[in-house]
């Protein structure tokens, strides 16, 4: 309200002085349309500014109901500079403070997989993302698919992918993702049987 006074106090004072001058000089009939238009404009501007201030206070301002997305500029900058170990430390701190935001978890998993060439650590962070972060259906599906790819291609342990595929099949039945998991599950079980890698357990992973 103080800001409204700053913005519109001088204008209101000037408008009032103008009205007094018009009345004093006897020119009111001539200037009535102009004064009416100016008065309507001034009132509309005050209403717009008050509505904006209230919207900012209750929706977008400090303590409002709309949260701001974290930017994570420090770990991103470190990774861009090739300082991958420092970036992992910064992402781990962000994950601890993120209150369930999945971005630090997924970023850590991909950093370990793609830059540090540590697929086991990457798999652990994908699992932690699923366990500790708030994943919607699409991100849960993506994280599990990336975990399966780690098990099969980088770690060379296809048997560890079996429960993950079974999980997708059971969690997303009658969806393209669930149907693709069913097909891959059957193919992987057949491959494991041919290669003699032992029984392929199908207990869904958590």
- Are residues 98 and 33 both part of a single domain? no
Tell me how far apart the alpha carbons of residues 42 and 168 are, in angstroms, rounded to a whole number. 61
Query: What is the per-residue pLDDT across 25-64, written as a single tens digit (0 to 9) for each?
Result: 555 555 455 545 555 445 555 444 544 444 344 333 333 3
Query: What are φ and ψ of residue 64, in 5° steps?
Result: -75, -175
Contacts of 121 (CB under 8 A, 6+ apart): 112
- Are residues 160 and 201 both part of a single domain? yes
Final residue belonging to a domain, choices 105, 133, 161? 133
- Distances from the Cα of 193 to the Cαs of 12, 15, 29, 151, in angstroms? 86, 89, 99, 17
- Are residues 128 and 173 both part of a single domain? no
pLDDT at 196: 78
Average the pLDDT over 88-111 and give the result: 96
Q: Is the pLDDT at 14 greater than 80, yes or no?
A: no
- Are residues 74 and 109 both part of a single domain? yes
Final residue belonging to a domain, choices 84, 116, 133? 133
Average the pLDDT over 8-18 and give the result: 50
- For residue 151, the enclosing domain spans 136-206
pLDDT at 71: 82
- Are residues 153 and 129 both part of a single domain? no
Q: Which is more confident, 5 or 185?
A: 185
In DSSP notation, 114-176 reads: HTS--HHHHHHHHHHHHHHS---HHHHHHHHHHHHHIIIIIS--GGGHHHHHHHHHHHSTTSH
- Are residues 160 and 121 both part of a single domain? no
Residue 204 banded pLDDT, cuts 50, 70, 90: very low
The CATH number that applies at residue 74 is: 1.25.40
- Are residues 145 and 122 both part of a single domain? no
> Does this model's pTM top 0.95?
no
- Are residues 36 and 75 both part of a single domain? no
pLDDT at 143: 97
- Are residues 205 and 146 both part of a single domain? yes
Final residue belonging to a domain, choices 29, 60, 91? 60
Count of domains forming the chain: 3
Q: Is the pLDDT at 107 greater than 60, yes or no?
A: yes
- Are residues 151 and 128 both part of a single domain? no
- Are residues 149 and 172 both part of a single domain? yes
- Distances from the Cα of 94 to the Cαs of 67, 115, 147, in angstroms? 17, 19, 21
pLDDT at 195: 87
- Are residues 28 and 77 both part of a single domain? no
Flag the least confident range among 38-47, 114-123, 128-137, 169-178.
38-47
pLDDT at 54: 40
């Amino acid at each position: 309200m103080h800001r409204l006074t700053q913005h519109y106090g001088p204008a209101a004072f000037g408008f009032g002085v103008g009205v007094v001058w018009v009345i004093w000089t006897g020119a009111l009939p001539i200037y009535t349309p102009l004064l009416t238009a100016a008065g309507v404009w001034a009132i509309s501007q005050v209403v717009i500014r008050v509505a904006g201030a209230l919207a900012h206070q209750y929706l977008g301002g400090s303590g409002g109901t709309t949260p701001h997305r974290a930017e994570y500029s420090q770990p991103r900058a470190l990774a861009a500079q090739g300082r991958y170990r420092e970036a992992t430390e910064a992402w781990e701190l962000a994950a601890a403070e993120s209150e369930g935001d999945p971005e630090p978890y997924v970023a850590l998993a991909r950093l370990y997989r793609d830059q540090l060439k540590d697929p086991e650590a990457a798999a652990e962070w994908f699992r932690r993302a699923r366990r500790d972060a708030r994943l919607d259906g699409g991100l849960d599906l993506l994280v599990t698919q990336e975990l399966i790819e780690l098990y099969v291609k980088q770690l060379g342990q296809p048997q560890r992918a079996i429960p993950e595929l079974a999980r997708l099949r059971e969690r997303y039945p009658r969806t393209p993702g669930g149907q693709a998991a069913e097909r891959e599950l059957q193919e992987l079980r057949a491959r494991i049987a041919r290669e003699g890698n032992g029984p392929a357990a199908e207990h869904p992973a958590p």
